[in-house]
Each structure stands twice: as structure tokens, then as C-alpha cells.
Amino acid sequence: MEQQAGKLLIVDDEKSLRTTLSIILKKEGYETQVAADGNEALAIFRNDGADVVLADLNMPNMDGITLLKELKNIDPHLMVIIMTAFSTWDSAVTAMRLGAYDYLKKPFDNENMKAIVGRAISQTRLLRSKKNARAGERPPISMVVGNTARMQEICDTVRRIAPTDSTVLIQGESGTGKELIAKLVHFSSLRAHHNFIAVSCGAFPESLLESELFGHVKGAFTSAIADKKGLLEVADGGTFFLDEVGELSAQIQVKLLRVLEEREFKPVGSTITKKVDVRFITATNRNLEEEVEKGNFREDLFFRLNVIPITLPPLKDRKQDIPLLAGHFLARYGKAMNKEITSIAPETMQALLVHDWPGNIRELENTIQRAVALARSDTILLEDLPPKLQVTREPDAWQLRDIPPQGINLDEEVGKIEKHFVRSALEKANWNMTKAAELLGLTFRSIRYKVEKYEITRPGTSDGDDA
């Protein structure tokens, strides 16, 4: 097993968990220290420091959120992982708003926990490395926010491929964070101290894009009054990111294929071949395999680009990450606008959770930015959201949550879910109770009872076979 240097501080009031975590992480090559509460953790950190802190959320004397604040006051770039047996959106928002690196729900999978710690250690190394993180630049690992299995898998893939020079193709809908993943690969790689050059292929007309990519010599065309170095040459030694690669014309596809195969190119109007050493990362919101079948994209180029494919899920498929992302953006824009926004109201979070987010993470970011700008208090209210998000809806089935510290009313929670499915079935059956009962596997008498119990009515109609 490859040993990883790094000092960890484990903070939890449960001795057995502290001991178990310490044993597991020592086997991974880490140096570990343990503390039973926040006060003890602060004393250890001030004396001995740590690269990463794993802190329980609920502890006597000083809870995990307070400890997070204190640690961030001492070292703003410290990676802190919050652990909790109660996975609720409000504590997740608070932790991310205050700068937590990640949020682990107990009991957690040990392999997933080790992967998160490994990424946090990598982030710490990059932040502290003068070689890989130049002044003013910060690797974006901490910006890849998400606890869903798919996002953890993507981050693990990035960690494994980053040290290589393999070409990466990132696919996903607009706004899912493709350029962010490309930057993550670059800043986690051995090329991190060289340039990261990003070009959107859809932002330039074909004639101008060729010049931007490969450069040109004086006199190559009417407006070429001097030699110009292409962005490929500027990226030499670093990473070249081509976004919207599916927009490339057939002519530029041919030239790009040669660069990928031979690592050389000719500026527009030149007979001189130039060598280039770059890592290629490309991205698209198109299905390139379908474009190949249609004859719009070269098959040989597709195979050259698709060495390591990464597909990003749309936000609607990772809604569990919305509280974490909302907390992250709340911190960013609260600081940028010099506004102390500390929380998101429950009905506001409910609205965020039920929205389908066709614009994905970019739309969520813009929504939180708008809400912070409009907020009149320290809490984001429903009225601070765009009008289309202010329509309240019942929670979806995936939104089942763990029992919070204050407990729940089980009958009430089950009733909400039952009401949701009864209403959904009625809507699908055009409000015909007989058909809705069939969808739910109920008798007509049973569904009628539930419709009356939950006072479910079709707007503008009266009782009868139609609800």
C-alpha cells in the first residue's frame, strides 16, 4: 500500500470511534492525534497543528460548528471534515457556509471516508506548495461540492488520473461544472505550475478560432499585420482545455487530430512546424457518439479524445447535494457582498429541493447570488427566490431524511409521503379515482378514504368519481 504523509486530528466524544478512525487512518500512512471535545482539539492544534481535522458535529463543551469557526480563524485554508449521525440540511448548509471541506454522515463507509481524507490531504499539499500553487492561484478541489456516490466516484477518478497525461473527455449538460472538473484535473497534476488555457469552441467563428488555437504569421490573411502566438503554444507544458469541442468544424478537427497524434502544428500561413507539450482535456454537452454516427464528428478524433471519459450528472439527479452547494454559494456571495447571511429558511430550502434545475449548478449559483443580494435579514426567505421557485410543492419520495436531534412525528411524516403519492396518482390518472387506485394497488374504497382524510381536491371540481 502506498503510504501517504499527512497529520490528522480526530475529534469525537465517542472514544471507540476515535480509536477506530485512528487505527484505520494510521494503516493508510497518516499520523493521527485524537481529542474528546473542541477545547482539547484547539489546544492540540495550536501546539502541534494538523493537515486535516475530522470533527464530530455534536459534542459537549464545544460543538463541531463552533470548533470549525475557531479552526478557520487560526488557519483559513485548513481542511475540516464534519462528521454527524444526524444528516440534516440546516447543519450541512452551516458547515459548508463556514468553510468545511466535506460533510460525512455516520455510520460512514470506510473506503469513502478514506477517499475524502485523501482528497483533503491533496488539497492541503497543493495549497501549501509554492511549486504547484502560485501566488493568487488556488486549486479548485474544495469547490467540487457533493456527497452523492456519483460525485465521490468522479472525484476519485480525478485523483487517480491527474498524475498521468491521459486525454480526458468530460460530458454533461450545460452548467454541470465541466470546466471546474478540468481545472481540478490540472491543479491535481504534475503540470499544475504551468498554464491552464481554456477555449470555448463555440465562442469564435471558424476562421478566427483557427488563428486563436494555432496562431498565424504576418500576412496570412488581410488583418494579420503581425505574427501571433496561438493558445496551444501558450499552453505548452500545461493543460489545454477545449470546451464545446462538438462545435469544431471538419477542417479544425483534422488539424486537432494531428496535434493529438504528433504533438505538432503549423500556424496559419506558416510552413514551419512547431512542437507542443500539452495535456488535452475536452468537454461537450453533445453526445459525440451520436455526432459520429451522423457524420458531424470524426470517429478517429473521438477515439483520441475519449481516452478517459467523465460524465457529470445533472443537478436534478443529485439533489441531495443542493444543501451543500447552497451553503457553499451562500458563503461566497455573502462575503463578496459584505452581508452576514447565516441561514436558509426551511420553506426556502424546500423550494430549492423540489425545483428541477434545468440550468444545473450554474442556475443554483445565480439563484443564491440573487437571494443574497435581495435578502433583508440574515436568513434567505422564500420571497428572495425568483418567482418560479416560490411555488410550494409536496416533498418527493427521495427526500426521506434521518431523524433530527429533536425527533419527529412519525404519523405526520408518513402522512406527508402518502398524501404525495395519492395526489401524484390522481394527477397521472387525470383525477379519476378508479384509475388512480389501480396505479397505487388500492381499492376504490381505500383511495376515496385517503382523499377525504388528506382533503385532496381537484381545483374547480366537486366530489364524485373524479376527485
Phi, psi of 317 (to 5 degrees): -95, 0
Q: Cβ distance 259 to 232 under 8 Å?
A: yes
Q: Does domain 151-311 have CATH number 3.40.190.10?
A: no
Phi, psi of 286 (to 5 degrees): -95, 160
Tell me the mean pLDDT in the region 228-240. 92
pLDDT-derived band of residue 393, with 50, 70 and 90 as boundaries?
low
Q: Cβ distance 190 to 163 under 8 Å?
A: yes
Candidates 257, 246, 336, 332; CA nearest to 297 is: 246
What residue spans in the chain does CATH classification 1.10.8.60 cover? 316-389
Name 82's bridge partners: 55, 103
Maximum mean pLDDT: which of 41-45, 81-85, 340-344: 41-45
* pLDDT at residue 216, rounded to an integer: 87
Q: Cβ distance 198 to 241 under 8 Å?
A: yes
Tell me the mean pLDDT in the region 165-190. 92
Q: Cβ distance 32 to 40 under 8 Å?
A: no
pLDDT-derived band of residue 129, with 50, 70 and 90 as boundaries?
low
Tell me the mean pLDDT in the region 172-195. 90
Name 229's bridge partners: 215
- Bridging pattern class, strands 215-216 and 228-229: antiparallel
* pLDDT at residue 55, rounded to an integer: 94
CA distances to 105, 259, 262 from 273, rounded to whole Å, are 55, 11, 11
Tell me the mean pLDDT in the region 271-283. 94
Phi, psi of 416 (to 5 degrees): -60, -45
Tell me the mean pLDDT in the region 319-335. 88
3-state secondary structure 181-195: HHHHHHHCCCCCCCC
Q: Cβ distance 53 to 40 under 8 Å?
A: no
Q: Cβ distance 443 to 437 under 8 Å?
A: yes
In this structure, what is the dihedral angle of CA atoms 458, 381, 347, 176, given to the nearest 10 degrees? 100
What residue spans in the chain does CATH classification 3.40.50.2300 cover? 7-136
Least confident of 17-31, 380-394, 431-445: 380-394
In this prediction the pTM is 0.64
* pLDDT at residue 463, rounded to an integer: 46
* pLDDT at residue 126, rounded to an integer: 66
**Residue 242, all three cell numbers:** 477545449
What residue spans in the chain does CATH classification 1.10.10 cover? 409-453
Given the C-alpha cell 434567505, which residue does it identify? 380
Q: Is the pLDDT of residue 90 over 80?
A: no
Q: How much helix, strand and coil, in percent to the nearest 5, is found in the chain?
A: 50, 15, 40
Average pLDDT value for the chain: 85
Fold adopted by 7-136: Rossmann fold (3.40.50)
Query: In terms of pLDDT, which residue wins out, 174 or 219?
Result: 174
The class that CATH gives domain 409-453 is mainly alpha
Least confident of 131-135, 373-377, 425-429: 131-135
What residue spans in the chain does CATH classification 3.40.50.300 cover? 151-311
Query: In terms of pLDDT, which residue wins out, 86 or 73?
Result: 73
pLDDT-derived band of residue 460, with 50, 70 and 90 as boundaries?
low
Q: Cβ distance 292 to 299 under 8 Å?
A: yes
Q: Is the pLDDT of residue 142 over 70?
A: no
The class that CATH gives domain 316-389 is mainly alpha
Q: Is the pLDDT of residue 292 over 60?
A: yes
Q: Distance between CA atoms of 196 and 377, rounded to whole angstroms?
A: 40
Q: Is the pLDDT of residue 270 over 80?
A: yes
* pLDDT at residue 140, rounded to an integer: 47
Give 384's DSSP letter: G
